[in-house]
Amino acid sequence: MSPAEVSVTVRLRLAAELRADLAALARRAASVAYLATPKGKESGDAERTRTLALAFELERYYTAVEATLVRVLRSLDGDVPDGDRWHSELLRAASVPIAGLRPALVAPEAAAELRELLGFRHVARHGYDVEPELPRLTVLAARVARADGAVAGSLGRVAEELEQGAAGA
C-alpha cells in the first residue's frame, strides 16, 4: 500500500471506530437516563440497587468517553497526555482545536460536564468507604444527558471530516 492509501485506510478505520463508539455512548447515556428515573414506590433495597447500578453506568459512560478520546488523539495527534494528571489533561487536549488539522473533539461546555463526571469516576474507583447517594447521582445523570449530545455532535463531525478527507484523497 502506498502512504496515501495507508492514510485513507487509517482515516476510514478511525471514522468507523468513532461511529461504533458513539453508538456505545448513546447506549450508556440511555442506561443512565433510565436508571436516574424513579420507578414509582421502591423498597429500600430496590432503591439501593438502582443507586449502585446508576453509579456503575455513570462510571462506564465516562470511561467510554475517555477511551474514545484517547483513540482519536492517538490517531490524529500522535500522542496522548501522560503523567499524574493525564485524565484532566486529556479533556483539555480534546477541547482544543488544532487549526488545519482537527477541530476540538469536545466542545467547552461538554468538557465542563465531563470534568464533573471525571471527578465522580475517581471517587467511584478509589473511594472505597464512600457510598453513592442517589440525589448526587441524579445530578450527574443530567450532566451525562447534556454532555452526550455535545460529545455526539462534535465526534460525529470529526467522523464526517475523516470520511470526507478519505474520499478526497
Query: Given a cut of 90, is residue 141 above it in pLDDT?
Result: yes
Per-residue model confidence as pLDDT tens digits over 43-85 = 888 889 999 999 999 999 999 999 999 999 999 999 999 999 9
| Averaged pLDDT for residues 97-107 | 89
Predicted local distance difference test score (pLDDT) of residue 169: 64
Which cell numbers in the block locate residue 53?
447500578
How far, in Å, CA of 52 to CA of 94, rounded?
30
Q: Which residue type sits at 54?
A: L
Main-chain dihedrals φ then ψ at residue 97, nearest 5 degrees: -75, 150
1-10, 81-90, 115-124 — most confident range? 81-90
Structural domain boundaries, residue 161: 3-168
* pTM score of the predicted model: 0.90
Contact present, 128 and 158 (Cβ < 8 Å): no
Contact present, 94 and 111 (Cβ < 8 Å): yes
What are the CA-CA distances from residue 13 to residues 10, 17, 57 (Å)? 5, 6, 27
When divided into structural domains, the chain yields a total of 1
CATH code for the domain in which residue 80 is found: 1.20.120
